[in-house]
Amino acid sequence: MIALTARAALTPAETIDHPLLLIEEGKIASIGSRSSGEIPSGAKHVDFGDHLLSPGLVDIHIHGAVGYDVMHDDKAGRQRMEKFLVAHGVTSYYPTTVTASEEEIVRALDRLATAIEGAGKNPSRDGLAQPLGIHLEGPFLSHARRGVHPPERLLNPDLRTFDKFWQASRGQIRVMTIAPELPGALEVITEASKRGVCVSMGHSDATFEQAQSGVSAGARHATHTFNAMRSLKHRDPGILGEVLSNPKLSADIIVDGIHVHPSVVRMFVRAKGPERAVLITDGTAATGMPDGRYKLGSLEVDVHDGMCLHDGKLAGSVLTLDKAVRNVMKFADVTLQQAVRFATLNAAVAVGASGRGQLQVGGPADLLVLNQCGEAQATVVNGVIAEA
């Protein structure tokens, strides 16, 4: 048994001062105030002093890091990325595909499903971040708002193609980004929702009414809000009007100071509120690497001054999720506890990851140790402590 103590614990729904958190067999055995409990005899006591305990971060949209791209067959590269994620406080993540040929997507889905199944059988894999499910981004995207997704590979949604991807993933698709205005989209949204997929509207030129139809069909989330979306106009609100005004929709955002202006980040947080705002990275293989040229699927992207570009267009980011937490504190004037929630509980709830993103008895002992500024000091993955 391991006993952790610190200045406070952010569950993140509440704050526990001077907590005592017990870990047994990779699970949280108990959590409460140290004043109401004692460290069990024989337990290994680790005191984090003035630091804070929080749930491990959950990234629901990431394409790669430290030279690895999830579309590529590179097991060593994936494990290198998972170690990098832990160093930045991420304990679980959703590898995110990009638009490619159907055959390339099928091969990637099969590989990622194998990785997810293997991680599930051995969750304490030497302190590596755990993939929980696949985020299918593309090919059901709008040509008008495709970003850098290759136009020749985009497809209108249909049940046959969706089921082909579903079977290739062995049911591991947990998030799907789709443009609701495309022919066939509503039927696919309905079917994906029935299968437990978090359907997320994104890369979309939808009108307000088309976005509402997507929600009625089962969409419940929005992908990198503001980016690759029809612009908001006061007499033509478009998809953003629905995303920002519907209190039932959760939505994610890239808070790197590049993709979205800080003042708009502040507006987004106020619109979505404390329970529906989600932080993502949209990180690429260039994350954690020096300036240079890297891969995003089959595309080559150039990185300089913190920007990831393909033919002059933004192509993902080099953001880490712990940095996003610190940025949103500054941009939106929120507390560390609120910012942590955006990258933990809110993310987990959005994608239906039961028991993740929170500190609760019986849940996985996935924790992040933070200083008062929100900087990662250590990470605990299924009870295994790794220094940040």
Q: How far is CA 372 from the centre of its chain?
A: 23
In this structure, the dihedral spanned by the alpha carbons of residues 246, 250, 255 and 259, taken in order and rounded to 10 degrees, is -60
Q: Which residue, chain included where needed, has tokens 């690895």?
A: 68
| Active site residue ranges | 282
Q: Is 99 left (phi over 0), alpha (psi -120 to 50) or beta?
A: beta
Q: Is 363:77 a contact under the CB 8 Å cutoff?
A: no
Residue 220, CA atoms < 13 Å, CB-side half-sphere: 18
Cβ-proximal residues to 261 (8 Å cutoff; 6+ apart), any chain: none
Cβ-proximal residues to 165 (8 Å cutoff; 6+ apart), any chain: 105, 106, 109, 136, 173
d(CA 54, CA 99): 35
Q: How far is CA 217 from the centre of its chain?
A: 23
% helix / strand / coil in the chain, to the nearest 5? 30, 30, 40
d(CA 204, CA 227): 9
